Structure 1
Amino acid sequence: MEKIVILHTNDLHSHLENWPRIRRFLDQRKRENEKKENTTTITVDLGDFVDRWHPLSEATNGQANILLMNEVGYDAATIGNNEGVGNSKEDLNHLYDHAEFDIILDNLFDKNTLQPPIWTKPYKIITTKHQTKIGLIAFTAPFPLTYNPNGWDIRNPYDILPELVEDLRPQVDVLVLMSHLGIQDDLQIAKEIPAIDVILGSHTHHLFREGHVVNDVQIAAAGKYGQYVGEVHLTIDEEKKILKHSAKAIPTETMTAFTEDEQEVNGYLEQGHELLKEKEVADLPFSLSLDIFSEHSFIQVALEAVKERGKTDAAILNSGLFLTEIPKGRVNQDQLHTALPHPMHLLNVTLGGNDLIRLVLEIEKNRLFLRNYPMKGMGFRGKIFGQMVYNGITYDSVNHQVFWKNKPVDPTKNYTFTTVDHLMFVPFFPTIEIVGKNEFLFPEFIRSVVGDYLKAHYPIK
C-alpha cells in the first residue's frame, strides 16, 4: 500500500498573521512523511495568495508573497482573481518570475496571441518513488468583464475540462483538480466528471472540516485567510487504484505559535509601509478632508480625478471608500494605499436619459439606508458604504428632477459618467448592470487614479 498526502492552502489574501504557523506546519508534515517509506507529500496553493490590501504586496507588486511561497516548497499553485485582475497584465506576467514552483492553469489565454501565458503549464505529473503518477490540473474563476479589458481571454472551464480530463486521465493514476472556481462549480464538476479523483476547492471561502464526497470524488476546502490548512489522504493499492480517500481542514489556531511570530508578521507590515512611503507622488497645499462638504473634500478631488481619467463630464462615488484624510504636504503611496485600499477599477457607464434618471432615483431611494450600511465584499475594504456623492449631476428632491451640468436630463440623449466597478457589482443600483453600456478602465485601481491626478495637479517641485 502507498500513501499520498496532499497539503493545500487557499485564499490567504495576504493575511500573513498565520503565515509563520502555516510555514512550520507544512514543513513539519513534509518532514514527518519523508520518514515514512510509503508516503508521498504534495503541497499546493489554490490562488488568491496575493492581495494588494497588504502594503508589502502593494509595494512589491506581489513579489514578496511569491518569496514567502518559495519558503514552503510548494509543488504547484494556481491563480485566483486577485492575482488575475488585481494586477495589470504586465505585473501578472512577471509575478512568478522568481517562483520555485509550477503555475498550473488551463483557462487563461493572452487576448492578442490566444496562447496561454508562458508562465503557466496546462498540467503537472508527479511520479512517486513507487511510480504512481499524480496529475494536477487547475482552473480559475472566469470573469470576462474584468479579465478581457486587462488583455486576457478567460474561458469557461466547462469548454475545456472534459477534453483535458479525457487526454490526461490515461497518463495518470490519480487526477487532482486545483479549483479556484467556487463551491457550486466544484460540486457540479464532481457530478459530471467522476474521472477526477480529488477536487481541491477555493474562491468562495467555503470550508469542509472533514471533506465532502460527491460521486466518489473527494472534495476538500480550507476556508480563507490561512485560518485552516487542508490535508487529503489517499491510499493506493498495488494496481495503482485509490483504495481509500479522506480529507480534513486543520485549524491554524491549533498549530504551534512562537513568541517571535508577531514580530515577523508586524515586520511584513512595517516593511511594506516603509517601501510605499519612499514613493512620493505630490505636494498638497491643503489637507484632503473626509467631510464631503468641506472646501477641500477628499471625495470631491477624487471625483475630479476619475472624471479626468474617464474623460467624462460627471462622476459618482460613495464616501465610504475614503478611510483616512490626506494631510497637507508631501503625499506618498502609503497614504493613498491606507486611504483607498480597495481593489477597484474605474467604470465608464453610458445610459440613456430615462435610464440615468432611474439610476439617480435608485441612488436617492437607497441614500439613507446606505449611509451607515456595513458593506462587505466585492472589493470593498472599508467599514460603511457611506454617502453617495455626484459631480456633474444634481438632483432636485422637491421636484424630483435630475440635472446634467445644470441642465435637465434629456430622455432622448445618452450620457456617460465615471464611477468604480464596485457600484455595478453591488445589488443597490441594478440599472448600471442591466441597461448600462459599461467600459472597464484598466489597469489602475482608484488609488492610482487619484495619485496620478494629484501628481499632475500638485507636482513636487
Structure 2
Amino acid sequence: MAEDITILHTNDIHSHFENWPRIRRFLLAQQEQQRQAGQTVVTVDLGDAVDRAHPLSEATRGRANVTLLNQIGYDAVTIGNNEGLGLTHEELNQLYQKANFDVILNNLTDTQTGAQPDWALPGKIITTKAHTRILLLAFTAPFTLTYPLNGWTPQSVKACLPELLQRYAGQYDVLVLLSHLGINEDRWLAKHFPSIDVIIGSHTHHLLVNGEDDHGVLLAAAGKYGEYVGKIHLVIDAQHHVTAGTAETFATASLPELPADQAEIAGWQRQGERLLSERVIAKSPEQLNPHWHHSSQLTALGLAAITSYAGTDLGMLNGGLFMRDLPAGPVNRNDLHTMLPHAMHVIRVTLTGQDLWRLVYEMELVRPFLNKFQIRGMGFRGQVFGYIQYQGLKWQADRHQLLVNDELVDFKKTYQIAMLDHHLFIPFFPTINISGQTDILFKQLLRTVVGDYIAARWPLS
C-alpha cells in the first residue's frame, strides 16, 4: 500500500518578520490538514532565519527568532552563514538553548575541541506510522576564510557526505538533504550522489517554483525572505522506496492576512528598537549627517573609528554605508543599528606602495560607477555603494600620483590600510586579493567598532 509523506520547508527568512504571521498560519494549517488525512508531515527550515538587520534579532542575538520558530513545531532546522558567522561563537552556542526542535548540521566542528557542536545533531531519522525511515542530513556553506576566525572549522560536503552515507547505511529508506549550500552545489550533489531522494536548497535565494528533477533527485527551494513557502509530496511504496515526488511553492503575499497581523509585526519592531534604545553609549556634541554621493563628516568619523581599531593611518569607506544621521546628544545602540545595519567587519590590508597605488587607481576608475551603483549582498544592507572617501590618501588625477599623508607614495615601502571585508568580497578591487595580505578583524561588526570609538571619544560622563 502506498504511503504519502509531506515535507513543508522554509529558508532564508532573514528576520523578515513582516511575512511571519502568514507563514505561521499556513504551516500550522498544512500540518493539521496532512495529519487529519493520516499522512506523515515533516517541517524543516534551511537556515538564515536570523538576520541582525532587524532590531529584535540584533537586541536578542537571534533568540527572538528561535521563539518564533518554536511556534511551528519544526522537526529540524539547520544553520546558514547568518547564524554561523553573524553571531559570535558563544552567541551561536547559546542560540538554540530554548528551541523545541532539533538542529542538524554535518560539516561544522568546534575548532578548539574538534567536536560536533552540542547544539546540533549529525542526523535525524524520522520513522513514519508505516515504518518508513526518513534520514535528514544538513550542510551549511563552508566559508573557509571566515569560519575559523569565529572558532569553527568547516568541512566540504564532498569530503564528509560519503562517510555519512556509510555511517547510516541500512538505517534509512528515504534520504532528505537540508542544504544551505546554494543551487550549484545542490546540482553537483544530485549528479554525484543520485541515491539522495530530495535536496531542499537555500543560501543562493533561488526559487524552484515546482521543483527540479536532477539525475533522479528532487530539488526544491523557496526563494528568500519568507516570500514563499515550500511543500513537497512523496509517494512511498510497500518496500519504503520513493516512487514519485513533486514540489510546489506558495507565495506568501497570496496567503490571507488577518487584521491583527500588522500590530504583531509592528510590535516586534518596537520591541527590538526599545531594547536597543535602552543601551545609551555616548553623547555626541553635534549631529553628523550622511551623504551617499559626496564626502561627509559622518564617513570621516567612520574612517577614524576603523583606522583606530585596525591600528592604521590609512582607510577607505563608502558613503552608502551610512543609512541615517548620528544624532546630537545621547547616542544609543538603536541609533547605531539603524545607521549601520550591515553584517561587515573591519579588515587591515598590508600592501607595497606600488600595490597601494594600483588599489587606489582601481578605486578611482570605478568611482563614478560605484557612486550610484545599487549593490546587494556580501553583508551590505543599504541601497547604493556611494562615494569613496579616504583617510590619509589623496589621488592626483591629472598626474596619476598618490599622496600618502601628504607625501608621494614610496613604491618600495610597506603600507597598511583599513577597509571592510565587504570590499574584499566584491569584485571591484582585485588588488586586495591579488597582492594584499589581509587580516580580517572578525571580533566586532562595523557598528560596534564605530560605537566603541564614539563611546571613548564622547563618553556619557
Fold shared, TM-score > 0.5 on shorter chain: yes
Equivalent AA in structure 1 for residue 345 of structure 2: H
Residues in 2 aligned to 1:169 and 1:82: alpha-carbon distance in whole angstroms: 32
Q: CA deviation at 1:9?
A: 0.2
The question of whether the paired residues in 2 share the 8 Å contact of 1:350 and 1:414 is answered with: yes
Residues in 1 aligned to 2:442 and 2:241: alpha-carbon distance in whole angstroms: 48
1:310-325 paired onto structure 2 within 5 Å: 310-325=310-325
Secondary structure of residue in 1 paired with 2:381: coil
Residues in 2 aligned to 1:294 and 1:184: alpha-carbon distance in whole angstroms: 39
Equivalent AA in structure 2 for residue 217 of structure 1: V
Q: Quote the residue 1:139 is aligned against.
A: 139
Residues in 2 aligned to 1:103 and 1:304: alpha-carbon distance in whole angstroms: 41
Residues 1:405 and 1:170: Cα distance change in structure 2 (over 3 Å): same
The question of whether the paired residues in 2 share the 8 Å contact of 1:34 and 1:40 is answered with: yes
1:137-286 paired onto structure 2 within 5 Å: 137-286=137-286
Residues in 2 aligned to 1:155 and 1:62: alpha-carbon distance in whole angstroms: 24
Q: CA deviation at 1:296?
A: 7.8
Residues in 2 aligned to 1:148 and 1:188: alpha-carbon distance in whole angstroms: 25
Could you tell me which runs of 5 or more consecutive residues in structure 1 were left unpaired when the two chains were aligned.
none
Q: Quote the residue 2:289 is aligned against.
A: 289
The question of whether the paired residues in 1 share the 8 Å contact of 2:293 and 2:371 is answered with: no
Q: TM-score, normalised by structure 1?
A: 0.97
What is the Cα-based RMSD across aligned positions, in Å? 1.5
The question of whether the paired residues in 1 share the 8 Å contact of 2:291 and 2:320 is answered with: no
Equivalent AA in structure 2 for residue 262 of structure 1: Q
Q: Quote the residue 1:342 is aligned against.
A: 342
Q: Quote the residue 1:13 is aligned against.
A: 14
Q: CA deviation at 1:232?
A: 0.8
Equivalent AA in structure 2 for residue 371 of structure 1: N
The question of whether the paired residues in 1 share the 8 Å contact of 2:105 and 2:139 is answered with: yes
The question of whether the paired residues in 2 share the 8 Å contact of 1:88 and 1:442 is answered with: no
Check if 1:36 corresponds to 2:37: yes
Q: Quote the residue 1:50 is aligned against.
A: 50
Identity across matched positions, percent: 49
Equivalent AA in structure 2 for residue 322 of structure 1: F
Residues in 1 aligned to 2:204 and 2:340: alpha-carbon distance in whole angstroms: 24
Residues 1:291 and 1:245: Cα distance change in structure 2 (over 3 Å): closer
Equivalent AA in structure 1 for residue 238 of structure 2: E
Residues 1:291 and 1:185: Cα distance change in structure 2 (over 3 Å): closer
Q: Quote the residue 2:4 is aligned against.
A: 3
Stretch moving more, 410-419 or 186-195: 410-419
Residues in 2 aligned to 1:159 and 1:47: alpha-carbon distance in whole angstroms: 21
Check if 1:399 corresponds to 2:399: yes
The question of whether the paired residues in 1 share the 8 Å contact of 2:179 and 2:199 is answered with: yes
Residues in 1 aligned to 2:116 and 2:26: alpha-carbon distance in whole angstroms: 34
Secondary structure of residue in 1 paired with 2:442: strand
Residues 1:93 and 1:351: Cα distance change in structure 2 (over 3 Å): same
Equivalent AA in structure 2 for residue 24 of structure 1: R
Residues 1:295 and 1:245: Cα distance change in structure 2 (over 3 Å): closer
Q: CA deviation at 1:293?
A: 11
Q: CA deviation at 1:136?
A: 0.4
The question of whether the paired residues in 2 share the 8 Å contact of 1:181 and 1:201 is answered with: yes
Residues in 2 aligned to 1:291 and 1:362: alpha-carbon distance in whole angstroms: 22
Q: CA deviation at 1:214?
A: 1.0
Residues in 1 aligned to 2:245 and 2:398: alpha-carbon distance in whole angstroms: 67
Equivalent AA in structure 2 for residue 75 of structure 1: D
1:297-312 paired onto structure 2 within 5 Å: 297-312=297-312
Q: CA deviation at 1:294?
A: 10
Residues in 1 aligned to 2:247 and 2:176: alpha-carbon distance in whole angstroms: 13
Residues in 2 aligned to 1:32 and 1:102: alpha-carbon distance in whole angstroms: 23
Instruction: After superposition, give the CA deviation of every residue in 1:156-203 in whole Å (9 maximum; x if it has no partner).
Output: 111101221232242101111000000000001000001111100000
Q: Quote the residue 1:361 is aligned against.
A: 361
Check if 1:62 corresponds to 2:62: yes
Q: Quote the residue 1:389 is aligned against.
A: 389
Residues 1:8 and 1:407: Cα distance change in structure 2 (over 3 Å): same
The question of whether the paired residues in 2 share the 8 Å contact of 1:287 and 1:296 is answered with: no
The question of whether the paired residues in 1 share the 8 Å contact of 2:292 and 2:386 is answered with: no
Q: CA deviation at 1:372?
A: 1.4
Secondary structure of residue in 2 paired with 1:145: coil
Q: Quote the residue 1:27 is aligned against.
A: 28
Q: TM-score, normalised by structure 2?
A: 0.97
Residues 1:135 and 1:411: Cα distance change in structure 2 (over 3 Å): same
Secondary structure of residue in 1 paired with 2:207: coil
Q: CA deviation at 1:248?
A: 0.9
The question of whether the paired residues in 1 share the 8 Å contact of 2:292 and 2:371 is answered with: no
How many residue pairs get matched? 460
Q: CA deviation at 1:399?
A: 2.2
Residues in 2 aligned to 1:443 and 1:44: alpha-carbon distance in whole angstroms: 31
